[in-house]
Structure 1
Amino acid sequence: MTGNTHVVVIGGGYAGVMAANRLTQRDDVNVTLVNPRPDLVHRVRLHQLVGGSNDAVVAYEDVLAERVRLAVDTVTRIDAAGRSVTLAAGGTLGYDYLIYAVGSGSADPGVSGAAEFAYPLATLEEARRLRAALDATPAVSPVTVVGAGPTGIETAAELAEAGRRVTLVCGGVLGPYLHARGRRSVAKRLAKLGVAVIDGSDAKVTAVTADSVRLANGRELPSGVTVWTVGFGVPDLAVRSGLSTDAVGRLLTDETLTSVDDERILAAGDSAAPSNQPLRMSCLNATPLGARAADTVLSRLVGEQPETIHQGFYAQCISLGRSAGIYQFANRSDVAVWLHIDEGMGARIKELVCKSIPGHLSGEARKPGSFRLHRAPGGAARRRRLLHANGAHQIEAPAVSDRAA
């Protein structure tokens, strides 16, 4: 390869922006970021958009390096053989390397009436639609939040604190990731806010109508607005483009985040499945994975062997309204431990985390290569143990046939 290298990054979320910024370390690398929106969606604040305390967007001019070209468009197909992508607005865009960072969205609810009557909350457009629905609904009307992961808990707390009458239907346990001690703390806070929590084996939704939610035990809950936060899905772009994916549709890669089909294609964030053992979908993982994907490209450009995933720090941070929250610590296998920080200090930590994410991106834009969290000591060893424990093997990408000098 001679001359400038063109890298196309598909997706302008946390992973995509980090990767794009990091690639500007080299003057001979040109970067195009393709994203359907003109602003960064600050996804960890979508529940605040619904509650009316934040708009959940950040201007790209504040977090994206000046040398990165932003194309506000959608990629409809990847032509790996031709090294190009097709754009929804028309035309194609060629690349030398491609970073696939399309993120995640709402999963198919698979429950009668949910797609028609419930409001999902995984994208900016969905959050705005839900906010409009709440604004059009009387404040005394009951709200049912289905799903008790972080999004469901945060949304239920935000709405209850704003005066809404909220029921949280867990579909199982409250906060599945949390340690039992952390779960008790969250339950206590939700009770203080007046949220009715329905958990246990019967807390599964079997049908949604315009004004109710039906549970597995036959109970019907009146619901003026039903919020659906159960699970995430990924876009089907990789599948439609004939690339290898896991069962969910995430791009299948090796431990350097290189596609098992093509060494010129890499993946990062929620849409990556390294060694078919993807990391938990979260901003905590997305940003470092973006840095790792960029580092793999930069290593190949100088003929070096790319490093593998080194991430070794895990936790979960959940806001419980504006004045409380919980920071749940975890071990290096991403399993919650007894230690957590809650109440007001938990809220302050969560707000610090929310502010630090754009800070990491803007810092990388100003000084490419300065982000270091993806190189946590011990992360590589932890990853090897995880693969071994799950009976998985490190998948190898195709042999590199055309490295740049």
Structure 2
Amino acid sequence: MTENPSTAATGTETSTRRTRVVVVGGGYAGTMAANRLTQRDDVDVALINPRPDFVERIRLHQLVGGTHDAVHDFSDVLSPRVGLVIGEAARIDAARRAVELESGGTVEYDYLVYAVGSAGAEPTVPGAAEFAYPLSTLEGALRARSAVEAAGHAAGGPPAVTVAGAGPTGIETAAELAEQGCRVTLLCGGVLGPYLHPRARRALAARLEELGVRVLDGPGSRAAEVGAAVVRLEDGREVRGGVTLWTAGFGVPDLAARSRLSTDPAGRLLTDETLTSVDDPRIVAAGDSTSPSGIPYRMSCQAAIPLGSLAADAVLARIEGRSPRAVSPGFVGQCLSVGRRDGLVQASTSDDHAKKGFVRGRTAAAIKEAVCWSTYRGLVFEGRRPGLVNWAFLKDGRRRDLLETRVALAREGSAL
């Protein structure tokens, strides 16, 4: 079976002059790209996604804590001109310009936006796959929520929870559950909040201590083995708890590699600075799964949405016969919720290095909530008024210097 994006989007026959664009992946980057592509009336857009819901991934810790369901029906988020194809992409056949689905169908395209996102890396720690609950996907977060509730019923009250990984997801999940009375141990496997400036890290540690979170950091605090109700650390210590939640490490789907497209060592699609695949000018990438010039942006919603809008702009430029422009979206920092009543906002340089400045407390919590709300509402607005949301107003002023340095080093190496 071959599915036509034009038919999926409009329910009508299409002329040969229409352009079919398929977006693979309905996360922040893919949804932004799909909505933005509807600026042209002669472009038919299809979005391939495994589920009919848009997942607010930056709220999954709230789903685990029971304070937000973190999902919206795609009919509320997508432009009515975007056709939603529910399915899992199995392979991209660039020669035929078609996406093969796990179901056996295919979706043909003239241009493709590769936005498959990221997920938790497969844990290599013995026992983690059997006894720990990863939180990087909706399905994983739902299972984790059920496990925490079941442990609470068995304990007759808030259960003991061990959270492995002290990046944003681990920190936010630990705080969310501790605020509800759970006895939480946070395993850092190194430092707490690696992105944070030391001053902000100390403030965060103090707030987690107020919430009753037991923070284990430094050498030896990495999980070495996970059991049914125990985690053994590299230094020999044991942490006993009813539920182990896993937030350590992220990876990307291997769709690009399976499709014989060039990738970086982590499996991200390798592109030039216009987000165009180095193998095929009709494939453009966005979000966590793209690696421009082999120098990827930090996996984050903050990067995904600008990259999604810029990927759409690159496709529209090619349709109009123009050359896409090089992109360099910048950063402003990192927002963390520390429970429902507290937060921390770490300021950064545009090239994503933490500054000394940060905000914490209720003000930071309000900023984080505003960011979550405006991120979702921005996608909805782009679906109703495509092209009017400009998420890429910040520029990374140092990226060009980094690229020039890399080129110079490569030339020196080839000359030796």
TM-score range, shorter chain: over 0.9
Aligned pairs for 1:28-107 within 5 A: 28-107=42-121
Q: Which amino acid aligns with 1:306?
A: P
Offset at 1:314? 2.6
Q: Is the 8 A contact 1:312 1:382 kept in 2?
A: no
1:316 aligns to 2:334 (yes or no): yes
Aligned pairs for 1:165-204 within 5 A: 165-204=183-222
Q: Which secondary structure does the structure 2 equivalent of 1:374 belong to?
A: coil
Q: 2: distance between equivalents of 1:260 and 1:343? A: 45
Length-normalised TM-score, structure 1: 0.94
Q: 2: distance between equivalents of 1:140 and 1:4? A: 57
Q: Which residue does the alignment assign to 1:357?
A: 375
Q: 1: distance between equivalents of 2:123 and 2:354? A: 27
Query: In the alignment, which of 303, 310, 318 is matched to residue 285 of structure 1?
Result: 303
Q: Is the 8 A contact 2:45 2:83 kept in 1?
A: yes
Q: 1: distance between equivalents of 2:53 and 2:105? A: 23
Q: Is the 8 A contact 1:309 1:383 kept in 2?
A: no
1:18 aligns to 2:32 (yes or no): yes
Q: Percent identity over the alignment?
A: 59
Q: 1: distance between equivalents of 2:44 and 2:393? A: 25
Query: In the alignment, which of 118, 122, 129 is matched to residue 132 of structure 2?
Result: 118
Q: Deviations over 1:192-221 (max 9, x none)?
A: 000000000111111000010001111111
Q: 1: distance between equivalents of 2:162 and 2:129? A: 15
Aligned pairs for 1:137-156 within 5 A: 137=151, 138=155, 139-156=157-174
Q: 1: distance between equivalents of 2:345 and 2:388? A: 26
1:369 aligns to 2:369 (yes or no): no
Length-normalised TM-score, structure 2: 0.92
Offset at 1:356? 0.7
Q: Is the 8 A contact 2:148 2:159 kept in 1?
A: no
Offset at 1:313? 2.8
1:386 aligns to 2:415 (yes or no): no
1:268 aligns to 2:286 (yes or no): yes
Q: Which residue does the alignment assign to 2:240?
A: 222
Q: Which residue does the alignment assign to 1:5?
A: 19
Q: Which amino acid aligns with 1:357?
A: T
1:298 aligns to 2:316 (yes or no): yes
Q: Which amino acid aligns with 1:195?
A: V
Q: Which secondary structure does the structure 2 equivalent of 1:24 belong to?
A: helix
- Matched residue count: 392
Q: Is the 8 A contact 1:165 1:194 kept in 2?
A: yes
Q: Which secondary structure does the structure 2 equivalent of 1:136 belong to?
A: helix
Q: Which secondary structure does the structure 1 equivalent of 2:210 belong to?
A: helix
Q: 2: distance between equivalents of 1:130 and 1:194? A: 21
Q: Which residue does the alignment assign to 1:399?
A: none
Q: 2: distance between equivalents of 1:160 and 1:390? A: 45
Q: Which secondary structure does the structure 2 equivalent of 1:186 belong to?
A: helix
Q: Which amino acid aligns with 1:220?
A: E
Q: 1: distance between equivalents of 2:385 and 2:409? A: 36
Q: Deviations over 1:331-386 (max 9, x none)?
A: 1220000111111001000000010111111111111111212143x43x432123
Offset at 1:142? 1.8
Q: Is the 8 A contact 1:333 1:386 kept in 2?
A: no
Unaligned runs of at least 5 residues, structure 1: 395-405
Q: 1: distance between equivalents of 2:331 and 2:159? A: 42
Q: Is the 8 A contact 1:310 1:375 kept in 2?
A: no
Q: 1: distance between equivalents of 2:365 and 2:47? A: 33
Q: Which amino acid aligns with 1:382?
A: R
Offset at 1:90? 2.4
Offset at 1:393? 8.9
Q: 2: distance between equivalents of 1:155 and 1:393? A: 42
Distance 1:328 1:390, change over 3 A: farther
Offset at 1:2? 5.8
Q: 1: distance between equivalents of 2:403 and 2:206? A: 37
Distance 1:393 1:273, change over 3 A: farther
Q: Which amino acid aligns with 2:331?
A: F
Q: Which secondary structure does the structure 2 equivalent of 1:54 belong to?
A: coil
Q: Is the 8 A contact 1:387 1:393 kept in 2?
A: no
Q: Is the 8 A contact 2:164 2:245 kept in 1?
A: yes
Unaligned runs of at least 5 residues, structure 2: 1-14, 411-416
Q: Is the 8 A contact 1:275 1:392 kept in 2?
A: no
Deviating above 4 A after TM superposition, structure 1's stretches of 4 or more consecutive aligned residues are: 389-394
Q: Which amino acid aligns with 1:282?
A: S
Q: 2: distance between equivalents of 1:306 and 1:372? A: 17
Q: Which amino acid aligns with 1:212?
A: V
Q: 1: distance between equivalents of 2:374 and 2:406? A: 33
Instruction: Give me the CA root mean square deviation.
Output: 1.5
Q: 1: distance between equivalents of 2:284 and 2:102? A: 21
Q: 2: distance between equivalents of 1:387 and 1:49? A: 40
Q: Which amino acid aligns with 1:383?
A: R
Q: Which amino acid aligns with 2:86?
A: V
Offset at 1:388? 3.6
Offset at 1:93? 1.0
Distance 1:140 1:42, change over 3 A: closer
Offset at 1:32? 0.2
